[in-house]
Amino acid sequence: MENKNFLMIPGPTPVPENVLLALARHPIGHRTKEFSRLFRAVTDRLSWLHQTQGEVMTLATSGTGAMEAAMINLLSPGDRVLCLVNGKFGERWAKVAAAYGMQVEVIDAPPGEPIDPARVQAHLKADPERVLKAVVVTHSETSTGVLNDLKTIAGLVKEHGEALTIVDAVTSLGAVSVPMDDWGLDAVASGSQKAYMLPPGLGFVALSERGWAAQKVSRSPKFYLDLAKYRKSLKEDTTPFTPAVGLVTALYESLEMLHREGLSELFARHGRMRDGVRAGVRALGLKPFVQDERFASAAITSVATTEAESIRSLMNKHYDIALAGGQDELKGQIFRIGHLGFVSDRDILTALGALEGTLRRLGHGDFTPGAGVGAALAVMAP
């Protein structure tokens, strides 16, 4: 059938009808009271979602633009920065830092495994002069579905005393609790096409007061991504450059929906979907790529199978469900199920039913009919 495709990739994610209709509204002028009222409401809701007393900057960029803004506003050429790398997006941070002439240090872990906080601790202890300027953490690594232990790592950075914690929360924010103030995060970057339930095109960056202090003295060259300009304009409920008016209008709608759902149900729903997917996948004889439950992202589940590309192709052909493949060296080794944003328990059952049908078509029959859906229900509706 046409027009029946359902996105279960880790972005773009499904967009609710009322948000789509907001996108179809005629743009309003951005230098108007009407836009400023809207932008203020949106900005307040963003603080709520980030669990911060501070304000969140909205940029017309994709998530990578927000990541870059977070890094180059806090750091300067020559700065030592520790990047924690266990996937493609962790690698990206190291590339951004290198592009700006920072001294990149790396602690890595194999794809699918979390960064070991003990190694981070040892690295920080090996810096008694407190020269290291920042530790960069990918919270939910989109390329594998690992959730790094951000809380513990941020706590270790706090003990160091000088280094800042910079976080890629692109696929965690809105799916997993990211209590920015409580955990002492200094920069949090995210993007609209994830749990925000919007199309791509907006990037978000929140800074702590320590982050803003670092921003003031940062010497990395920047103009469009200069967050001081955004903060200044925000005092007048506006933006320094023309905002993506349509996406901001739609963001108002989606944030209101998230707010009505409430943070605790929002995170509970994503956790429930993760548990359901993992149980269902296992019941169908497949193996989640992230084996340890404690480090499984509530936003994405990767499944390890050399039949990944056949499964994706048949899921798309017969059931109109788009799954993501592995990236780079994981291509053909895993497929990824995105379950963040406008996705419900019902969609998880749908996906597992379709996955069962797909596996049958591929000649797998070593499970009782309905095993995937049944196993998911057992954990989602016990």
Q: Does 241 bind a copy of itself (CB under 8 A)?
A: yes
> Cβ distance 281 to 303 under 8 Å?
yes
- Shortest reach from residue 382's CB to a copy of itself, in Å: 33
Site string for a copy of itself, 169-208 (x = CB under 8 A): ----------------------x-x-----xxx-------
Looking at 104-112, 145-153, 160-168, 222-230, which segment touches a copy of itself (CB under 8 A)? 222-230
Residue from the set 12, 112, 145, 326 that interacts with a copy of itself by CB under 8 A: 12
CB of 199 to a copy of itself, least distance (A): 4
H or E element: which one contains 88? helix 88-99
Tokens of 217: 């003295």
| Nearest by Cα to 238 from 73, 57, 46, 26 | 57
- Pick from 99, 118, 131, 268: which binds a copy of itself (CB under 8 A)? 99
Residue 226 in tokens: 């200069």
CB 143 within 8 A of CB 330: yes
Q: Tell which one of 163, 247, 277, 284 touches a copy of itself (CB under 8 A).
A: 247
Within its chain, how far is the Cα of 344 from the centroid?
A: 18
Indicate the SS3 state at residue 238: coil
221 forms part of the interface with a copy of itself (CB under 8 A): yes
Residue 226 sits in the site that holds a copy of itself (CB under 8 A): yes
Cα-to-chain-centroid distance, residue 381: 26
**Whether residue 111 has a cis bond before it, omega within 30° of 0:** no
Q: Tally Cβ neighbours within 10 Å of residue 91.
A: 18
d(CA 33, CA 238): 10
Q: Nearest approach, Cβ of 261 to a copy of itself (angstroms)?
A: 21
Start-to-end CA span in the chain (Å) = 34
Taking the least distance from each CB to a copy of itself, the nearer of 62 and 152 is 62
Cα dihedral 241→245→247→251 (10° resolution): 100
* CA dihedral (237, 238, 240, 243) positive or negative: positive
**CB nearer to a copy of itself: pick between 120 and 299:** 299
Shortest Å, Cβ 230 to a copy of itself: 12
State phi, psi for 94 to the nearest 5 degrees. -65, -35
Window of 98-106, 133-141, 290-298, 370-378 that interacts with a copy of itself by CB under 8 A: 98-106
Cα(8)–Cα(11) distance, integer angstroms: 8
- Interface segment toward a copy of itself; rule CB under 8 A; list 4-12, 50-58, 80-88, 294-302: 4-12
- Shortest separation between residue 6's beta carbon and a copy of itself, angstroms: 9
Examine residue 23 and tell whether it contacts a copy of itself (CB under 8 A).
Answer: yes
Residues numbered 264 to 323 that lie near a copy of itself (CB under 8 A) are 322
In SS3 terms, 251-280 reads as HHHHHHHHHHHCHHHHHHHHHHHHHHHHHH
Nearer to a copy of itself, 62 or 121 (CB): 62
Cα angle for residues 241, 247, 252 (degrees, 5° grid):
110
Binding part of the chain for a copy of itself, among 26-34, 45-53, 172-180, 363-371 by CB under 8 A, reads: 26-34
How big is the site for a copy of itself, counted in residues (CB under 8 A)?
Answer: 54
- Of 42, 55, 63, 167, which lies in the binding site for a copy of itself, with binding defined by CB under 8 A? 63
Q: Does 60 bind a copy of itself (CB under 8 A)?
A: yes
Cβ neighbours of 306 (radius 10 Å): 9
**Candidate residues 78, 101, 262, 369; the one interacting with a copy of itself per rule CB under 8 A:** 101
Interacting residues toward a copy of itself by CB under 8 A: 5, 7, 9, 11-12, 14-15, 20-21, 23-32, 60-65, 68, 72, 77, 95-96, 99-101, 191, 193, 199-201, 220-226, 241-247, 322, 324
